[in-house]
Amino acid sequence: MTFVLPMRVVRWRPGRRLAAIFLMISGVAAFSCIDTLTKVLTARHAPVMLIFVQNSLAAMMVLPVAAMKGSAGFRLRSPRLLAIRAGVGVVVSFLIFTSLSLLPFAIAVSLFQLETFFVIPLAILLLKEKASWHRWLAVALGLFGALLILRPGSEAFQVAGLVAVAAALALATKNIVLKMLAMNEAFVPALFWMYVLMASMTAAPALLFFRSPIGLADLGLLCVSALLVNTSNFCMLKAFSMADAMVLTPALHMALPLAVMMGLVVFDEWPQPIVWAGIALIFAATFMPTGRKPEG
């Protein structure tokens, strides 16, 4: 007699930490695409105008989803924290948009990556997280890879470069506050009210700096940008709800190789060998073991 044993299908399930890293990389990739669109749009429109329209469109995209959830789609637990996030978000957007309008794309994005230098002390101070030597080494490798790509020179270290460094500090603060939001708020109401607040904060300045009507082509780019903003913020919120900020910090460096690839595709700029070395270091730092058993 022959017995046929039933086969059990084994599905691969990524660990919680690995899933969070991939979510963060997805958020960073969406953010890199936003930067590319911003670089194009700031040539024709004031940064504050773009911030207002982008957040207004993002809020309208989230509104139907929030409405489907009823009152739960609009209920906030920490309105003060959300107001802080919105205020920081306006500062971040203004500094990033201004930097991209003044600097070459690759240099501006490279300087933004200095945010990881600020994330660890902020996470230790505000989130009470602990950093093992593995984490410090991973961040150091990622930062060294960023410097290989940046290759600091006179072009980057001017007033516009300082604006980009300020954007990096603001980005680090934004991500720490985003981590706090992920721990305290439901995603949909957090995103909806964040966009509403950011649009409200920039409405008056947008009218003040109004240059010319936004054409249909640029409006289409802003709609794509708003969709990517939603994608980026959702992926980052989800990632921060699954892992510590310092675990995810090296993944933020993935914006640099993505920017290099964007420059290759859009601007036909082939990276030099030292840039590829920087990309390899960033990749290694992103997936470097933390020295602790991963959750999940």
Nearest CA to 66 out of 230, 184, 177, 208 is that of 230
Q: Where are the alpha helices (DSSP H) in 151-254?
A: 159-184, 187-208, 216-242, 245-248
Which pLDDT does position 182 carry in this prediction? Answer: 78
Which pLDDT does position 154 carry in this prediction? Answer: 45
Which pLDDT does position 1 carry in this prediction? Answer: 47
Which pLDDT does position 16 carry in this prediction? Answer: 80
What pTM did the predictor assign?
Answer: 0.74
Q: Taking the domains of the chain in order of start, what are their residue ranges? A: 17-286
Successive 10-residue mean pLDDT values, the chain, 296 residues: 44 70 89 85 87 94 93 87 88 87 76 74 71 72 71 57 83 83 83 93 88 87 94 89 77 75 70 73 67 45
The answer for residues whose C-beta is within 8 angstroms of residue 70's C-beta and 6 or more apart is none
Which pLDDT does position 5 carry in this prediction? Answer: 40
The residue type of 104 is P
User: What is the DSSP annotation of 162-180?
Assistant: HHHHHHHHHHHHHHHHHHH
Residue with tokens 């920087």: 278
Contact by Cβ (8 Å): 73, 227? no
User: Cα–Cα distance between 129 and 125 in angstroms, integer?
Assistant: 8
User: What is the DSSP annotation of 96-127?
Assistant: HHHHHHHS-HHHHHHHHTTHHHHHHHHHHHHS
Nearest CA to 259 out of 117, 85, 107, 96 is that of 107
Contact by Cβ (8 Å): 63, 192? yes
CA dihedral 236, 239, 243, 248 (to 10 degrees): -50
The residue type of 87 is G
